[in-house]
Amino acid sequence: MQHIYKITWSIRAIVYKLIFGSFGFPGYIGKPTFLMNARHIYIKSRVRIFPGIRAECHGRGTIQIGDNVSIGQGFHVIASSDLKISSGCLISGNVFITDTDHSYSNIETPVFNQINTVTTTSIGENCFIGTGARIQAGTILGNGCIVGANSVIRGAFPDHSVIVGSPGRIVKRFNTESGEWERVRASQH
């Protein structure tokens, strides 16, 4: 009885396979809140998406989600170019990821009437993104990065970094020689 929701979500995934660019199996999806240009969303196999996803593909933008990804409830993603979430990622609830910024340079024109700025955003393999994190346009996360809960990040972060805060900063890096996570001083970024 406790797995009935997974069965329902798996059936939903079969239906959504018809409207998405691709949806690999096995995998499941909870009830979405909003989907824009779902034909531009490409999901590989063993992807688990909890309810409340809001996925927007503007223009020719695409969202690509790799194999074996788990996405928590209330996920919001906006793509105006090719936004990629690589295999093995764990994304907690209420996370926002975008490659699109609103422009506000013309003070006489409402922000929503100004041209958006689009900057490549990608999430490397095996990343963990904590609850409520905001991944802003132009963020490149290397493989194995950890983003702390409620962090707001923008920029390029090397493999195996722990990023926390607002604005996000690296506080730990994995040392492959010692096999341990090590603290990073502010001057070492």
Model confidence over 14-65: pLDDT tens digits? 888 889 999 998 888 889 999 999 999 999 999 999 999 999 999 999 999 9
d(CA 134, CA 90): 14
Supply the CATH classification number for the domain 4-188. Answer: 2.160.10.10
Q: What angle do CA 4, 33, 62 make, to 5 degrees?
A: 105
d(CA 75, CA 90): 12
Residues, the chain? 189
Return all residues near 50 (Cβ < 8 A) that are at least 6 apart: 30, 71, 72, 73, 75, 93
Supply the mean pLDDT for the chain: 94
Burial class (CB in 10 A: 0-12, 13-18, 19+), 162: buried
- Of the candidates 138, 178, 142, 176, the one whose C-alpha atom is nearest the C-alpha of residue 162 is 142
Inter-CA distances, 168 with 74, 163, 177, Å: 21, 6, 26
Residue where the block lists tokens 């996803």: 53
pTM reported for the whole predicted model: 0.92
Least confident of 8-12, 119-123, 145-149, 169-173: 8-12
Inter-CA distances, 93 with 4, 102, 175, 184, Å: 21, 24, 29, 27
